[in-house]
Each structure stands twice: as structure tokens, then as C-alpha cells.
Amino acid sequence: MRVGRCSIGWLSVAAVVPAAAAEGGGGASLIQPELGTIFWTMVTFLILAFLLGRFAWKPLLGALQQREQTIQDSIEQARRDREAAESVLAEQRELLAQTRRERGEAVAAGQRDAERLKSEILDEARAQRENLLKQTEAQIAAGLRQARGELRSVAADLAIQVAEKLLAKNLDDAAHRKLIEDYLSDLESESGSLPS
């Protein structure tokens, strides 16, 4: 179809040029086309256009279409690769955020465990202190009981010694009673000064 339009264009040019030359009235023109040259030029052009259309244009157009398709495929592949890369990037960001959350939770859990362990250690230390205080108080109370018992024993021994001395002096009953009462009041004042 293009070949036909081109040949019509050349034929019209070939017809106009001799007419213009004839109108010029004998002036010498730089280009003086001859009808035979125009005819053979047109025939050669048509044959060349036919051969190019038949053997060259189809492979050239096929190669251009193939190149265009390759470029389109490359663009599409690049788009898919970009989408895949964005997807992987989003996954990596989510994984990083999840890792940060898990790390924060692990740190918080560690702090909670440390607080719990600290509380348990403090509670155990308090319980040991209380037990130690109770044992100490029990030992002090036992020591006081033992001291009182020894004090009574010593007091009884002293009372016996006083009684022996009284008997040795042969005191009367009133003097004897007064001596024992004085001794017992001294003992009570001494035992009253001891902590209970």
C-alpha cells in the first residue's frame, strides 16, 4: 500500500516536471527530465520496493517487534523483581520489628525474674533473721533460767551457811528470824536487778 502511494507520487512528479519545462518556453533548465529515465527510475524503484517489502521489511519488522517484545519482557521482569524485592524488604522489616519486640519482652521477663528472685532472697533473709532472733532469744531465756536456778542454789547454800553460823552463835528465835528476813530481802533485791 505504501509502495503504491510512493509510485503515484513519483508518477505525478514525473508528469509535472515535463509540463513545467514546456511552459518555460525554451529556457534552459538545470534539470531536464526525460520520460525514459523517469520510466526506468520508477520501474527500478518499484522492483526495489517489492524486493525490500518481500525479503527485507518482514525480517526487519520481525526483528524490531522481537526487540520491542524483549524490552517489554525486561520491563515486566524488572517490575516483578522490584515487587519481590519490596516484599522481601517488608518481610525483613517485619522480622526486625518482631525481633525487637521479642528482645524487649525477654528483657522485661528477665527484669521480672530478677525482681522475683530478689524478693525471694530478701524474704528468705528475713526468715533466717527472724529464726536467728528467735534462737538468740531462746538461748538468752535459757541462760536467764539457768542463771536464776544457779542463783537460787547459791542463795540456798548461803542460807544454809547463815543458818549454820546462827546455830553456832546460838541466837534466839527473834534474832534468827530477823537475820533470815534480811538475807531474803537482799536476795530479792539482787534478783530484781537482774533482767527477766
pLDDT, one tens digit per residue, over 6-32 is: 555 555 555 545 544 555 544 445 577
Q: pTM to 2 decimals?
A: 0.36
Residue 100 grid coordinates? 525487637
Amino acid of residue 168: A
Mean pLDDT of 73-101: 95
Of 23-32, 40-49, 115-124, least confident by mean pLDDT is: 23-32
In the chain the first and final C-alpha atoms are separated, in Å, by: 134
Amino acid of residue 99: T
HSE-up (13 A, CA, CB side) for residue 182: 8
Closest by CA to 153, choosing from 191, 111, 192, 98, is 191
Tell me how far apart the alpha carbons of residues 164 and 185 are, in angstroms, rounded to a whole number.
19
CA–CA–CA angle 93, 95, 101 (5° rounding)? 105
Question: What pLDDT score does 185 carry?
Answer: 82
